[in-house]
Structure 1
Amino acid sequence: MDFITKLPKSSQGFDTIWVIVDRLTKSAHFLPIRKNDPLDKLARLYLNRIVARHEIRVSIICDRDERFTSNFWKSFQKALGTDICMSTAYHPETDGQSERTIQTLEDMLRACVINFGKGWVKHLPLVEFSYNNSYHASIKAAPYGGWRIPTDWPEVNPRNNGKDSPDQAMDA
């Protein structure tokens, strides 16, 4: 988890992007926030946009932002059963995945800001979709493709002797 700050203030007042990257699938979420959003609002956003869609994480690597080092955030994550691992100051390799994702996102945002100005928030979901559908050499797939578990079912077709399901077709 990390933040991109000092963005042009959008018409909705957003000036920061909260970047959350799954270390396994390399999928990323880009959440527009305000620099001064209170922690309870960030906690609700995290529950609604991350936990509700993906489950509770076993561990999270965060930078040493005051929001992540606060007692509130530590208590919140402890209640969820998540271990917080703080990255080492001046040692970006600790959370290198977030740093690489942020570099890519900043490049993508530059194109949006040039074309859309302060309307970057409106296009952020498409930027996220584009990022998550791009090939990543480390997983040899796109992050959204990494979520899918391949199935080895036989194709269900008219030639399966009237069987309706793959299990029935296999029993034939």
Structure 2
Amino acid sequence: MDWVTPLSPGGDRSYNLCLVLVDRYSKTPILLPFHKDNTYMETAIMIWNKVIIHTGVFQNIISDRDTKFTSALWTNLHNLFGTKLSFSTAYHLQTDCLAERMIQT
């Protein structure tokens, strides 16, 4: 899981971030548009409504150390659902390589 930033400006109401999630087994990408002003709760609700409802709860998530993913809210959600949350090491592309590779292409 990683962010694509910044997206080209398109006006006040346009999205300027994209969250990239990649299923490790099927290599299927999931792209979710966001505004940079979205809160942690709005991010969690969007992932719930657009991804988890359709695919089920994640068993394991690898993400970078963005504050939206290290917040107490996010950590509590993972504890509630039993999801293992792992953080990639800075500048170690092999850890979060699926999302990074998706962003580059």
TM-score (norm 1): 0.58
Partner of 1:26: 27
CA RMSD of aligned residues (A): 1.0
Partner of 1:55: 56
Runs of 5+ in structure 1 lacking a partner? 105-172
Q: Find the aligned partners of 2:35 and 2:62 in 1 and give their Cα distance.
A: 22
Higher strand fraction (1 or 2) = 2
Partner of 1:3: 3
Partner of 1:85: 86
Partner of 2:37: 36
Residue 93 of structure 1 and its aligned partner are, at CA, apart by 0.9
Residue 10 of structure 1 and its aligned partner are, at CA, apart by 3.1
From the CA coordinates, give the structure whose radius of gyration is larger. Answer: 1
Q: Find the aligned partners of 2:28 and 2:101 in 1 and give their Cα distance.
A: 12
Higher helix fraction (1 or 2) = 1
TM-score (norm 2): 0.93
Runs of 4+ in 1 over 6 A off after TM superposition: none
* More contact order relative to length (CA 8 Å, sep ≥ 6): 2
The alpha-carbon distance between structure 1 residues 10 and 80, as it changes in their structure 2 partners (threshold 3 A), is farther
For 1:63-82, list aligned pairs within 5 A. 63-82=64-83
Runs of 5+ in structure 2 lacking a partner? none
Aligned residues: 104
Q: Find the aligned partners of 2:77 and 2:44 in 1 and give their Cα distance.
A: 8
Q: Find the aligned partners of 1:46 and 1:29 in 2 and give their Cα distance.
A: 10
Residue 6 of structure 1 and its aligned partner are, at CA, apart by 1.3
Residue 48 of structure 1 and its aligned partner are, at CA, apart by 0.7
Residue 79 of structure 1 and its aligned partner are, at CA, apart by 1.1
Aligned residues: percent identity?
36
For 1:128-147, list aligned pairs within 5 A. none
Q: Find the aligned partners of 1:65 and 1:43 in 2 and give their Cα distance.
A: 14
